[in-house]
Amino acid sequence: MNSGSRLPCGDRELDLSHAHVMGILNVTPDSFSDGGRYLRLDQALRHVEQMLEEGATLIDVGGESTRPGADAVSARQELERVLPVVEAISQRFDTIISVDTSTPQVMRESAAAGAGMINDVRALQRDGALMAAAQTGLPVCLMHMQGEPQHMQQAPQYASVIDEVSAFLTRRVAACAQAGIPASRLLLDPGFGFGKTLEHNLQLFAGIESLRPVGIHLLVGVSRKSMIGQLLGRSVDQRLAGGLALTTLAVRSGARIIRAHDIAQTVDVVRMTEAVMAAGR
């Protein structure tokens, strides 16, 4: 493993010379696919144990739903949902904990509780978020979103979705550098489904390789998303096949983290895809 493929994540390290599966743990009452299922700590920990047994390398803990139309939550609400879970996972399991948050206080306190990564759908644009993330010393995933969850899907428009997403991510990488967060500590997420129509999502996926600046790896999250439902006419619980097809394409395009609900199946697809790619090399 060369030094460029090592991502320090708190007291652990992630080998980005190959792709990993990030398991989703929403401790929210209103997430689009699994809201309310893991609000109790024992339920959350059982789910973490299952995801790790199925091959997840990271667990992404979220206390604020960012589904289209989701209501905002206070920092206190988010902390009350997230911190006990982060602390418990850190004490019980040998895994990297990612915290899906845009809130500076949650970033700081989660890092102190054992989190190893920050995953921010707002790309550190909230007041104080850049400074908070820099102070933690943790790697950060910057995601593109047009608008806010409450209204992002009402009428998203782009002259060129690929150019605009790429330009936004480039600006946020520069802002991070100014705040003391080097590119070596960053991941980028195109933000499929966040302020984008089906056609925008498809165009973005087709051009995904052009979104990655040299040395910065991609995180891709498409698990159970509406783009699959819209194209295939599938309900949330019938979108696995479409999601796995997109996972294959993402890994072939260089994505290093796949954020998913269905861990065992996604791990199989990642391993199979990478085996074929390795044989081709």
Of 146, 147, 172, 171, give the one whose Cα is nearest residue 160. Answer: 146
Instruction: Tell me the mean pLDDT in the region 144-154.
Output: 74
Q: What is the pLDDT of residue 72?
A: 77
Q: What is the CATH number of the domain that holds 116?
A: 3.20.20.20
| Model confidence at 36: pLDDT above 90 | no
Of 225, 277, 214, 224, give the one whose Cα is nearest residue 251. Answer: 277
Upper half-sphere CA count for residue 60 (Cβ side, 13 Å): 24
Q: What is the pLDDT of residues 243-270, one digit of tens each?
A: 999 999 999 999 999 999 999 999 999 9
| Model confidence at 6: pLDDT above 70 | yes
- Say what percent of the chain tops pLDDT 90: 81
Q: Is the pTM of this model over 0.85?
A: yes
Contact 85, 25 (CB under 8 A): yes
Of 220, 253, 257, give the one whose Cα is nearest residue 57. Answer: 257
Residue in 172, 212, 225, 256 annotated catalytic? 225
Is-catalytic flag, 196? no
Q: What is the pLDDT of residues 163-212, one digit of tens each?
A: 999 999 999 999 999 999 999 999 999 999 999 999 999 999 999 988 87
Q: What is the pLDDT of residue 151?
A: 66
Tell me how many domains the chain contains.
1
Q: What is the pLDDT of residues 43-69, one digit of tens each?
A: 999 999 999 999 999 999 999 877 766
The boundaries of the domain holding residue 170 are 3-280
Upper half-sphere CA count for residue 110 (Cβ side, 13 Å): 36
Q: What is the pLDDT of residues 107-147, one digit of tens each?
A: 999 999 999 999 999 999 999 999 999 999 999 999 999 87
